A and B are shown apart, each in its own frame.
Chain A
Amino acid sequence: MAAFLKKIALLTAVALALAASSIEATEPVAIIVNRANQVDKLTEGEVKKIYTNNTLAWPDGVPIIIYDLSINDQSRAIFSEKILGKAPDLVAEEWAHLKITNQAKNPPQIMKTPTLIIRRVMREKGAIGYVSIGLVQNNPDVKVISTLR
Chain B
Amino acid sequence: MAMDRGTRASGLFKGAFRAFSFLFLMSSAPALAEDPLERFRIDLEELRKENEGLQGRIDALEAEDEEARHGLGLLSNLVEVSGYADVEYTFTDQEGEGSGFRVHNLSLFFTKDIQREWKLFTEVEFEDAPRIESEKAADTVKSSQGTIFIEQLYIEYHPKLSWDIRLGRFLTPAGVWSIYHYPPYVPTQTSPIIYKVIFPKVSDGIQFKGSFTLRDSSIDTHLYVANGSGNPGALDRNEGKGIGARVNADLLTGLSAGLSYFGERDNEGTLKMSYGAHVLCNGSALRLQAEYQIRSNETDAASGFDDSGWYAQAEYDIGKWTLAARYDWYDPSSESPDDLWTRATAAVNYRFAHNVVGKIEVNRNWFDGLPTEDYSQAILGVAVAIGDL
**Do A119 and B41 touch (CB < 8 A)?**
no
Bound CA span A85–B109, Å: 30
**Do B63 and A105 touch (CB < 8 A)?**
no
**Do B385 and A55 touch (CB < 8 A)?**
no
B32-70 vs A, CB cutoff 8 Å, 1 = contact: the mask equals: 010011001100100010000000100110110011000
**Do A102 and B121 touch (CB < 8 A)?**
yes
| Cβ distance B156 to chain A, nearest Cβ, rounded Å | 8
Report the interface size for chain A: residues with CB under 8 A from the other chain: 42
- Asked if B250 lies at the interface with its beta carbon under 8 angstroms from chain A, I say yes
**Do A113 and B354 touch (CB < 8 A)?**
no
**Do B354 and A105 touch (CB < 8 A)?**
no
Please name 10 further chain A to chain B contacts, defined as beta carbons within 8 Å, in addition to the given A5-B37, A99-B82, sorted by A numbering: A53-B211, A55-B218, A63-B161, A89-B351, A95-B389, A96-B185, A105-B211, A106-B161, A116-B66, A116-B67
| Cβ distance A57 to chain B, nearest Cβ, rounded Å | 7
Q: From residue 97 to 146 of chain B, which have CB atoms closer than 8 A to chain A?
A: 109, 111, 121
**Do A12 and B213 touch (CB < 8 A)?**
no
Bound CA span A90–B41, Å: 41
Residue pairs across A and B with CB atoms within 8 Å: the count is: 99
Report the interface size for chain B: residues with CB under 8 A from the other chain: 43
**Do A100 and B83 touch (CB < 8 A)?**
yes
Taking CB atoms, residues of chain A closer than 8 Å to B385 are 96, 100
- Asked if A115 lies at the interface with its beta carbon under 8 angstroms from chain B, I say yes
Taking CB atoms, residues of chain B closer than 8 Å to A113 are 59, 62-63, 66
Bound CA span A130–B170, Å: 36
Taking CB atoms, residues of chain A closer than 8 Å to B161 are 56-57, 63-64, 105-106
Bound CA span A49–B211, Å: 13
Say whether, besides A96-B185, A100-B385, A20 and B354 are in contact (CB < 8 Å). Answer: no
Bound CA span A116–B66, Å: 8
- Which residue of chain A is the closest to B212 with respect to CB atoms? A56
Taking CB atoms, residues of chain B closer than 8 Å to A86 are 284
- Judged by DSSP, the binding face of B is mixed
**Do B185 and A102 touch (CB < 8 A)?**
no
Taking CB atoms, residues of chain A closer than 8 Å to B83 are 100
Taking CB atoms, residues of chain B closer than 8 Å to A55 are 213, 218
Bound CA span A102–B180, Å: 10
- Asked if B16 lies at the interface with its beta carbon under 8 angstroms from chain A, I say no
**Do A103 and B36 touch (CB < 8 A)?**
no
**Do A9 and B84 touch (CB < 8 A)?**
no
Q: Which residues of B contact A (CB under 8 A)?
A: 33, 36-37, 40-41, 44, 48, 56, 59-60, 62-63, 66-67, 82-84, 109, 111, 121, 152, 156, 160-162, 171, 179-180, 182, 184-185, 211, 213, 218, 250, 253, 284, 317, 351, 354-355, 385, 389
**Do A101 and B62 touch (CB < 8 A)?**
no
- Asked if A139 lies at the interface with its beta carbon under 8 angstroms from chain B, I say no
Taking CB atoms, residues of chain B closer than 8 Å to A115 are 56, 59-60, 62-63
- Which residue of chain A is the closest to B387 with respect to CB atoms? A100
**Do B354 and A93 touch (CB < 8 A)?**
yes
Bound CA span A71–B389, Å: 13
**Do B162 and A101 touch (CB < 8 A)?**
no
A-B contact pairs, 29 of them (CB 8 A): A6-B36, A10-B40, A12-B37, A20-B48, A49-B218, A53-B218, A54-B218, A55-B213, A56-B211, A64-B161, A89-B351, A90-B317, A96-B389, A99-B389, A100-B84, A100-B109, A100-B182, A100-B185, A101-B179, A101-B182, A102-B111, A102-B152, A102-B156, A105-B161, A105-B211, A112-B66, A115-B56, A116-B67, A119-B67
Bound CA span A29–B44, Å: 26
**Do A105 and B162 touch (CB < 8 A)?**
yes
- Which residue of chain B is the closest to A123 with respect to CB atoms? B67
- Asked if A16 lies at the interface with its beta carbon under 8 angstroms from chain B, I say yes
**Do A54 and B250 touch (CB < 8 A)?**
yes
**Do A100 and B82 touch (CB < 8 A)?**
yes
Bound CA span A96–B48, Å: 38
Bound CA span A103–B179, Å: 9
**Do B211 and A119 touch (CB < 8 A)?**
no
- Which residue of chain A is the closest to B385 with respect to CB atoms? A96
Taking CB atoms, residues of chain A closer than 8 Å to B179 are 101, 103
**Do B48 and A89 touch (CB < 8 A)?**
no
Q: From residue 87 to 127 of chain A, which have CB atoms closer than 8 A to chain B?
A: 89-90, 92-93, 95-97, 99-103, 105-106, 111-116, 119
- Asked if A13 lies at the interface with its beta carbon under 8 angstroms from chain B, I say yes
Complex A-B, nearest 10 residue pairs according to Cβ-Cβ distance, in ascending order: A54-B218, A115-B59, A96-B389, A97-B185, A56-B161, A115-B63, A116-B63, A9-B37, A13-B40, A106-B161
